[in-house]
Structure 1
């Protein structure tokens, strides 16, 4: 495969690094993908099932709402049953934050200025330190402080940034810096401008998202525009795509965004044509079936499925596995960009699934072998140092 060209490289903003459970956020860590449950948190079985579904498609972090004591305490049962770190979403009541930290939350999503006196903030910070929690300062255009609305007249980038920095200072004054910040808005222009301003004003890791983006289709488009602009300019350490859809859908869309920008890859990236009268097989149905059949593959690799020879060979040269439609129901298969063999119509999906699974297994085996070699080298080096 060809090397990554200079014009494809994104220079990420330099930020400090924090830890959300076992996930690093910021610095040189991969951009993590988050989602949020929509079940009643106190319904432990339903919430665990939804978190586990998000885990299966690659969620790195999952947020749950803790509006009351029952929800906060339910984390004691939820956290042991899931693998990803849990963020407790807290609004206003400081005791919910303390209870969530005690119950196993890895992070508290909170606005320090909204939970009362300095003493209450101090108690929340103490709980976060005692139980190893990080925090997220979550500023939202729909819930800006009244004094900022009076100062600026309306939600604007400057107001969002000022709110975020005010909350950050409260935590800094309590000697707490293990936090990330978000400044979300449902308006793409407002959100992007606010994140750009915040990125210049501080080096804290940023959680990016376009809030209340809409349903699966409209929300995906809206989020892709806003988050795409930010990610392309190097802004964003962790993302959530906010959709009126199942949490697992948010995660899958998030990964597709990161894959399209070359920032992070998980699973099979399918390059396919929209199809036209030149197609030599049913491209749309084939791709739809392939995506469903290949959903279990987590190894990053590329598959091109092109209906005719106009663009097919060129795309195949750039992918791990490629299929180009040909005449007489006979199509060309490429492996690692090189012509390999021909294939008849009726075998397309099964054959490509088999090739992808084989390639994924080879890649994973090579990783294991490389790890063994590195471990051996490290052991040899340690032995040499001990001998000296």
Structure 2
């Protein structure tokens, strides 16, 4: 019996587009994005939020442009931020033209919703003239009336048909620089729609479980839905939709990709849930380390295990490891090997110093070109 390598994810083959200077689709890394919740017309507040998202690792950021005041603010917003900005256009075609002229890297717009063929042509021309891509965004909650009448309710078939209808409008205008999403708040509906769309076209797909909920519930729903799709090779860019600080969306997005080995950024902490065997307060230690290591962008692994049952085994697989030992005498592992001991009171500061030093070492090796091809592949993925 032939068994596929259990860690292998074979990504769906899709064409590649660019959102600004960021490639999406093809063999490009899966990108992570979020959306601001400030008034876009308040340029300063929007810029500050985008900077926070940039620091968290956002590859691109979407802003809502429901009115002319918002598109007027775009020029300043784009000038003072470094990630590509996606303008979310609701129904008014002029906002799309204004956003493209202001320098938006992408328009989130459904061409079938903006009126006449002339209006569509005008938006397409603006996108071409200003090197702006598009995203067709189908949502189960706002499907066209004729599709609801045809199918009776939101269903995967209706969502795929809607997406392909919008895509055909752009194709008829000789425009192919777009990606597609088919989002629903229901995990089963969203996953089935993406699976159907993945079979029906080769455009890059933007994944999301829309209106997923708060930080805890939304993370769970998004992890299940996006995880199923990503594990099967579907998806080129993701957004985790949470009723929470947008920065949390970026953090969760990276954790989903890291858990599947699709992309790594920052410190991956492997830690136990703690039990009566713990030789130090594991939960508090991990909480503190997550906060103090949030600035590290270099991919590396850290294991924090409260006792010797699983500690040595986990430490063998991580860059740095800590295993609870005696009453106040815990073992530190470096590159999988036992190295020295540390007392509880010095533990957190010591681990932070070790991680920062290891990150600097990795970055120096990367800069000098001394990292082996295998090591580089593991760390960049």
Normalised to the residue count of structure 2, the TM-score between the two structures is 0.96
8 A contact 2:12–2:233 mirrored in 1: yes
Distance 1:61 1:6 in 2: 33
Partner Cα distance (2:372, 2:168) in 1: 47
| 1:57-76 aligned within 5 A | 57-76=56-75
Q: Residues 5-44 of structure 1, C-alpha deviation per residue, up to 9 Å, x if partnerless?
A: 9311211111000000011000000000000001000000
Counterpart residue number, 1:278: 277
Corresponding residue of 1:379:
none
Which digits, 9 at most, give the CA deviation of each residue in 1:311-354, with x for residues without a partner?
A: 00000000000000001310111111111111111111000000
Q: Which residue of 1 aligns with 2:93?
A: 94
SS at match of 1:6: coil
Q: Hey, what does 1:234 align to over in structure 2?
A: 233
The secondary structure found in structure 2 opposite 1:299 is coil
Matched, 1:243 2:242: yes
2:312 and 2:326 mapped to 1: Cα distance?
14
Show the counterpart of 1:118. 117
**Map of 1:141 onto structure 2:** 140
Residue in 2 aligned with 1:381? Answer: none
1:196 lines up with 2:195 in the alignment = yes
Q: Distance in 2 between matches of 1:233 and 1:223?
A: 15
Residue in structure 1 matched with residue 305 of structure 2 by the alignment: 306
Look up the match of 1:159. Answer: 158
1:323 is matched with which residue? 322
2-structure distance, mates of 1:371, 1:98: 48
Matches within 5 A, 1:336-355: 336-355=335-354
Distance in 1, Cα, partners of 2:327 & 2:252: 37
> Separation in 1 of the partners of 2:325 and 2:7?
32
| Cα offsets for 1:200-244 (capped at 9, x unmatched) | 000000000000000001100111110010111111100000000
Deviations 1:278-299 (A, max 9, x none): 0000000100000000000000
| Cα displacement (A) at 1:132 | 0.4
Q: SS at 2:280's partner residue? A: coil
Looking at structure 2, the residues matched to 322 and 315 of structure 1 have their Cα atoms a distance apart, in angstroms, of: 8
**Distance (whole Å) between structure 2 residues aligned to residue 262 and residue 347 of structure 1:** 32
Question: Would the alpha carbon gap of residues 135 and 371 (structure 1) be closer, same or farther in structure 2, given more than 3 Å must change?
Answer: farther
Query: Aligned equivalents of 2:246 and 2:78: distance in 1?
Result: 17
Runs (5+) with no aligned partner, structure 1: 375-388
| Matched residue, 2:287 | 288
Matched residues in 1 for 2:248 and 2:355: separation?
23
Shift, 1:372, TM fit: 12
- 5+ residue gaps, structure 2, are 374-381
Which residue does the alignment assign to 1:47?
46
Query: 3-state SS of the aligned residue for 1:351?
Result: helix
Deviating more after overlay: 276-285 vs 340-349:
340-349
Structure 1 residue ranges (4+ consecutive) displaced by more than 6 angstroms after TM superposition: 371-374
Are the counterparts in 1 of residues 365 and 371 from structure 2 also a CA contact under 8 Å?
Answer: no
Residue-pair matches, total: 370
Check whether the contact 2:65–2:89 (CA below 8 A) recurs between aligned residues: yes
TM-score, reference length from structure 1: 0.94
Alpha carbons 2:86, 2:107 under 8 Å: kept: yes
Q: Confirm or deny: 8 A CA contact 2:25 2:204 kept in the other structure.
A: yes
Distance 1:352 1:47, change over 3 A: same
Pairwise CA distance, 1:365: 0.3
Q: Deviations over 1:66-121 (max 9, x none)?
A: 00011011101100100100000001110000000001100000000000011100
- 2-side partners of 1:252 and 1:371: how far apart? 30
Aligned to 1:220: 219
Query: Separation in 2 of the partners of 1:316 and 1:194?
Result: 41
